[in-house]
Structure 1
Amino acid sequence: MRVVSLVPSLTEAVAVTLPGVLVGATDWCTHPADLDVARVGGSKYPDLDRVRALRPDMVLLNVEENRREDADALVAAGVPVRVTYPRTVDEALTELADLLTALGAAQEPPWLRAARAAWADPPRLHPVRTAVVPVWRRPWVVLGADTFAGDVLRRLGVTNRYAGHAERYPRPDLAELRGHDPDLVVLPDEPYRFTATDGPEAFPGTPCALLSGRHLTWYGPSLAEAPAVLAAQLARTVTA
């Protein structure tokens, strides 16, 4: 089996579970740190000639991270693809188990069993806090309905003010965001790299939780440690 992954979290999942299966990944696939495979460009604009040249038995994609036209082009070229689209933690755990089995794993890896255990009873904020969750600025983009990261936060005791929005990634202006009067603002460090000096200044007087984007949005081995990491980051904000 020869696999090319265009999804960083799936790259990590395959690389640590089935060494030798992965032959290609994007330039943004940074985990594991010692990953040594051919690089095929970005997630949004991969070099499909490089992908095909690796003669993959399967290319891994995600509905949100990759473009439909790239998936269609690979299929038209006779390259098998597998497209993931988890919108909850449970869906992510199931999709990961099914994918690894399809790639030849004889049993669930230890990290996946640990992730199931970690999310069976994750730490929660008490009382539950309401939040807005920007994932981009210029323009502002926030988590809306039916998102994986939204489910992660819900399980940790954070209610997304935009969870009932008609769109999955609304684009409100800053005045609207402030008008929701949230208990806190959640600012992950990816896909936009919010920092202590880039983001919180837009929400004076409101606590801003700077969270690990990898633990908030990736579905792979980081799922096992995500509840503890994110809960600690949230707790530091609400108790400061």
Structure 2
Amino acid sequence: MRVVSLVPSLTEAVAVTRPEVLVGATDWCTHPAGLDVARVGGSKYPDLDRVHALRPDLVLLNEEENRRADAEALRAAGVPVLVTFPRTVPQALDQLGELVAALGVTGEPPWLSAARRAWSRPPAPAAPRAAVVPVWRRPWVVLGADTFAGDVLRRLGVVNQWADHPDRYPRPTLDELRARRPELVVLPDEPYAFTAADGPEAFPGVPAALVSGRHLTWYGPSLAEAPALLAGQLARPVRADR
């Protein structure tokens, strides 16, 4: 079996489950460390000629990260594709189970069983906190409705103030974000690399939790450690007073 993954989290899932079948991945596939497979470009604009040259039996895509045109082109060329699009933690766990089955694995790999256990009883927050969750700035983009990352945070006690917006990724102004008077701002380090020096200063006086973007947005082996790690990061916010 030969698998090409155009989704970083799924690349990691395949690499720790059946590494011998993974023959290609995107330039953004960074886990596990030292991954040594052919690279086929980015998630949004992969080089389909390189993909075809790898003679894949299966190409892994995500409805949000990859383009429909690429999925359709692969299907038209007779290449089987598996498209994922989880918007909740249970959906992610179920779709990862489907991926494992598509890889020909019998039984559940240890990392997936560990992820199910971890999310069956995630750490209980002290109290729910109303928050804004930027994922980009210049312009500001925040988590809106029906997102996987939003469900992750909800299960850890974060009440997303933009979860009722009709868009999945609204683009409010900074004044609109501040006007909601959030109790917390959650700043992941990807896709935009927020840091203590880049992000909290936009929300003076508001505690800012700097969190792992991989554990917030990836669905794969990282799900096993995500609840504890994110809960710890959410419990240790920084504050920009000016």
Give TM class, smaller chain. Answer: over 0.9
Alignment of 1:103-114 (within 5 A): 103-114=103-114
What displacement does 1:65 show?
0.7
Which residue type is aligned with residue 86 of structure 1? P
| SS of match in other structure, 1:195 | coil
Structure 1 stretches lacking a partner, 5+ long:
none
Partner of 1:91: 91
Say if 2:184 and 2:207, in contact at 8 Å, map to a contact too: yes
Say if 2:26 and 2:41, in contact at 8 Å, map to a contact too: yes
What displacement does 1:202 show?
0.6
Which residue type is aligned with residue 224 of structure 2? A
What displacement does 1:140 show?
0.5
Partner of 1:45: 45
Partner of 1:14: 14
| SS of match in other structure, 1:135 | strand
> Separation in 2 of the partners of 1:75 and 1:234?
42
| SS of match in other structure, 2:210 | strand
Partner of 1:195: 195
Structure 2 stretches lacking a partner, 5+ long:
none
Equivalent residues, number = 240
Partner of 2:3: 3
Using the aligned pairs only, state the percent identity: 78
In angstroms, what is the RMSD of aligned CA positions? 1.3
> Separation in 2 of the partners of 1:192 and 1:81?
29
> Separation in 2 of the partners of 1:22 and 1:215?
22
| SS of match in other structure, 1:90 | helix
Q: Given the two structures, how large is their TM-score scaled by the length of structure 1?
A: 0.98
| SS of match in other structure, 2:11 | helix
> Separation in 2 of the partners of 1:80 and 1:19?
19
> Separation in 1 of the partners of 2:31 and 2:136?
23
Say if 2:196 and 2:238, in contact at 8 Å, map to a contact too: no
> Separation in 1 of the partners of 2:51 and 2:211?
33
> Separation in 1 of the partners of 2:21 and 2:107?
16
Alignment of 1:1-240 (within 5 A): 1-237=1-237
> Separation in 2 of the partners of 1:201 and 1:32?
33
> Separation in 1 of the partners of 2:35 and 2:2?
15
What displacement does 1:238 show?
8.0
> Separation in 1 of the partners of 2:18 and 2:215?
22
> Separation in 2 of the partners of 1:27 and 1:107?
30
| SS of match in other structure, 2:191 | coil
Which residue type is aligned with residue 76 of structure 1? A
Which residue type is aligned with residue 79 of structure 1? V
What displacement does 1:124 show?
2.5
